[in-house]
Protein backbone atom coordinates (compact mmCIF):
# COMPACT_ATOMS: atom_id res chain seq x y z
CA UNK A 1 0.00 0.00 0.00
CA UNK A 2 1.05 3.58 -0.66
CA UNK A 3 -0.12 6.55 1.42
CA UNK A 4 -0.44 10.22 0.46
CA UNK A 5 -1.74 13.36 2.17
CA UNK A 6 -4.14 15.95 0.75
CA UNK A 7 -4.87 19.28 2.36
CA UNK A 8 -8.54 20.17 2.03
CA UNK A 9 -10.85 22.84 3.39
CA UNK A 10 -11.10 22.59 7.18
CA UNK A 11 -14.38 21.23 8.54
CA UNK A 12 -15.12 19.93 5.00
CA UNK A 13 -13.05 16.74 5.22
CA UNK A 14 -15.90 14.21 5.48
CA UNK A 15 -17.83 15.84 2.64
CA UNK A 16 -14.66 15.87 0.53
CA UNK A 17 -14.25 12.12 1.13
CA UNK A 18 -17.86 11.47 0.05
CA UNK A 19 -17.39 13.52 -3.12
CA UNK A 20 -14.11 11.75 -3.91
CA UNK A 21 -15.62 8.30 -3.50
CA UNK A 22 -18.16 9.18 -6.20
CA UNK A 23 -15.45 10.59 -8.48
CA UNK A 24 -13.12 7.57 -8.20
CA UNK A 25 -15.67 4.78 -7.75
CA UNK A 26 -13.91 2.51 -10.26
CA UNK A 27 -10.58 2.49 -8.41
CA UNK A 28 -9.49 0.55 -5.32
CA UNK A 29 -8.64 3.44 -3.00
CA UNK A 30 -9.36 4.35 0.60
CA UNK A 31 -9.63 7.81 2.09
CA UNK A 32 -9.18 8.50 5.81
CA UNK A 33 -9.84 11.42 8.11
CA UNK A 34 -8.30 10.34 11.45
CA UNK A 35 -10.10 11.34 14.63
CA UNK A 36 -9.29 11.06 18.32
CA UNK A 37 -11.53 10.20 21.22
CA UNK A 38 -11.15 11.49 24.74
CA UNK A 39 -13.21 12.34 27.81
CA UNK A 40 -14.26 15.95 28.37
CA UNK A 41 -15.94 17.43 31.40
CA UNK A 42 -18.83 19.79 30.84
CA UNK A 43 -20.85 21.12 33.75
CA UNK A 44 -19.47 18.41 36.04
CA UNK A 45 -20.34 15.52 33.71
CA UNK A 46 -17.82 13.52 31.69
CA UNK A 47 -18.63 12.65 28.11
CA UNK A 48 -16.73 11.19 25.18
CA UNK A 49 -15.73 13.70 22.53
CA UNK A 50 -14.48 12.90 19.03
CA UNK A 51 -12.33 15.50 17.26
CA UNK A 52 -9.94 15.45 14.29
CA UNK A 53 -6.29 14.57 14.78
CA UNK A 54 -5.14 16.45 11.68
CA UNK A 55 -7.70 19.17 10.93
CA UNK A 56 -7.81 19.93 7.21
CA UNK A 57 -5.96 16.79 6.05
CA UNK A 58 -7.27 13.67 4.32
CA UNK A 59 -5.12 10.58 3.86
CA UNK A 60 -5.19 8.48 0.71
CA UNK A 61 -4.36 4.77 0.56
CA UNK A 62 -3.60 3.33 -2.87
CA UNK A 63 -2.91 -0.21 -3.99
CA UNK A 64 0.68 -0.67 -5.16
CA UNK A 65 -0.56 -1.21 -8.72
CA UNK A 66 -2.11 2.31 -8.89
CA UNK A 67 -0.12 5.46 -9.61
CA UNK A 68 -0.92 8.77 -7.97
CA UNK A 69 -0.20 10.54 -11.27
CA UNK A 70 -3.18 8.73 -12.84
CA UNK A 71 -5.60 9.96 -10.13
CA UNK A 72 -4.15 13.32 -9.19
CA UNK A 73 -6.34 15.41 -11.51
CA UNK A 74 -9.52 13.72 -10.28
CA UNK A 75 -8.77 14.62 -6.64
CA UNK A 76 -7.76 18.17 -7.55
CA UNK A 77 -11.10 18.81 -9.29
CA UNK A 78 -13.21 17.80 -6.28
CA UNK A 79 -14.66 20.74 -4.33
CA UNK A 80 -12.65 21.63 -1.22
CA UNK A 81 -9.23 20.47 -2.45
CA UNK A 82 -6.25 22.72 -1.62
CA UNK A 83 -3.08 20.74 -2.38
CA UNK A 84 -1.17 17.49 -2.13
CA UNK A 85 1.73 17.31 0.28
CA UNK A 86 4.73 18.16 -0.49
CA UNK A 87 3.18 20.14 -3.36
CA UNK A 88 0.92 19.57 -6.36
CA UNK A 89 4.03 19.38 -8.56
CA UNK A 90 5.90 17.05 -6.17
CA UNK A 91 3.34 14.65 -4.64
CA UNK A 92 5.28 12.69 -2.03
CA UNK A 93 4.41 9.28 -0.63
CA UNK A 94 4.35 9.02 3.17
CA UNK A 95 7.12 6.73 4.37
CA UNK A 96 9.26 5.96 7.41
CA UNK A 97 8.40 7.57 10.76
CA UNK A 98 5.59 9.66 9.21
CA UNK A 99 3.88 6.48 8.00
CA UNK A 100 4.24 4.89 11.46
CA UNK A 101 2.48 7.90 13.02
CA UNK A 102 -0.35 7.84 10.47
CA UNK A 103 -0.93 4.10 10.75
CA UNK A 104 -1.25 4.52 14.52
CA UNK A 105 -4.41 6.54 13.88
CA UNK A 106 -5.77 4.36 11.05
CA UNK A 107 -5.93 1.11 13.02
CA UNK A 108 -9.67 0.62 12.64
CA UNK A 109 -12.07 1.23 9.78
CA UNK A 110 -13.56 4.36 11.38
CA UNK A 111 -10.07 5.87 11.83
CA UNK A 112 -10.90 6.91 15.39
CA UNK A 113 -8.02 6.75 17.85
CA UNK A 114 -9.64 5.47 21.00
CA UNK A 115 -8.73 6.03 24.61
CA UNK A 116 -5.42 4.42 25.59
CA UNK A 117 -4.94 2.38 28.74
CA UNK A 118 -2.19 3.45 31.15
CA UNK A 119 -0.92 3.21 34.70
CA UNK A 120 1.50 5.28 36.74
CA UNK A 121 4.70 3.65 37.99
CA UNK A 122 6.35 4.15 41.38
CA UNK A 123 8.07 7.32 40.07
CA UNK A 124 4.64 8.69 39.03
CA UNK A 125 5.54 8.37 35.34
CA UNK A 126 2.83 7.34 32.90
CA UNK A 127 3.22 3.90 31.29
CA UNK A 128 0.97 3.19 28.29
CA UNK A 129 -0.10 -0.45 27.97
CA UNK A 130 -2.28 -0.27 24.82
CA UNK A 131 -3.97 2.12 22.41
CA UNK A 132 -2.79 4.88 20.07
CA UNK A 133 -0.39 6.28 22.70
CA UNK A 134 1.52 2.99 22.99
CA UNK A 135 5.18 3.68 22.23
CA UNK A 136 4.80 7.47 22.38
CA UNK A 137 5.77 7.90 26.04
CA UNK A 138 8.88 9.84 24.99
CA UNK A 139 6.74 12.33 23.06
CA UNK A 140 4.37 13.13 25.93
CA UNK A 141 4.71 16.76 26.97
CA UNK A 142 2.04 16.99 29.67
CA UNK A 143 -0.19 14.60 31.61
CA UNK A 144 -3.50 15.72 33.12
CA UNK A 145 -4.60 12.88 35.39
CA UNK A 146 -7.86 14.56 36.38
CA UNK A 147 -9.03 15.04 32.78
CA UNK A 148 -7.53 11.76 31.57
CA UNK A 149 -5.61 13.46 28.76
CA UNK A 150 -2.05 13.77 27.61
CA UNK A 151 -0.51 16.35 25.31
CA UNK A 152 1.69 14.61 22.75
CA UNK A 153 4.22 16.18 20.41
CA UNK A 154 4.02 14.65 16.94
CA UNK A 155 6.59 15.27 14.22
CA UNK A 156 4.87 14.82 10.88
CA UNK A 157 5.96 15.97 7.41
CA UNK A 158 8.80 18.12 8.77
CA UNK A 159 6.50 19.93 11.21
CA UNK A 160 5.92 19.52 14.94
CA UNK A 161 2.54 19.97 16.54
CA UNK A 162 0.77 18.90 19.70
CA UNK A 163 -2.35 16.78 20.03
CA UNK A 164 -4.43 15.97 23.11
CA UNK A 165 -5.21 12.27 23.39
CA UNK A 166 -7.23 10.46 26.02
CA UNK A 167 -6.13 7.78 28.46
CA UNK A 168 -7.83 5.62 31.05
CA UNK A 169 -6.00 4.71 34.24
CA UNK A 170 -5.86 1.02 35.02
CA UNK A 171 -4.36 -0.90 37.92
CA UNK A 172 -0.94 -2.33 37.19
CA UNK A 173 -1.19 -6.06 36.55
Which domains occur in the chain, in start order?
2-169 (3.30.70.940)
Tell me if the pTM is above 0.85.
no
Rounded distance between C-alpha atoms, residue 165 and residue 7, angstroms: 22
With bands split at pLDDT 50, 70 and 90, how would you rate the model's confidence at 19?
Answer: very high
Q: Could you tell me which residue, 89 or 105, shows the higher pLDDT?
A: 89
Q: Please state which of the ranges 62-71, 121-130, 142-151, 156-165 shows the lowest mean pLDDT.
A: 156-165
Rounded distance between C-alpha atoms, residue 16 and residue 156, angstroms: 22
Amino acid sequence: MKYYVMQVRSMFEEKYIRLCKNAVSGFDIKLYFPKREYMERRQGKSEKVIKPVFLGYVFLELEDSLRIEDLQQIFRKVEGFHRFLRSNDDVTEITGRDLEIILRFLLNKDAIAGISKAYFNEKDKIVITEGPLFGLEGSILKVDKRKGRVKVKLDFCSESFTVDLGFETINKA
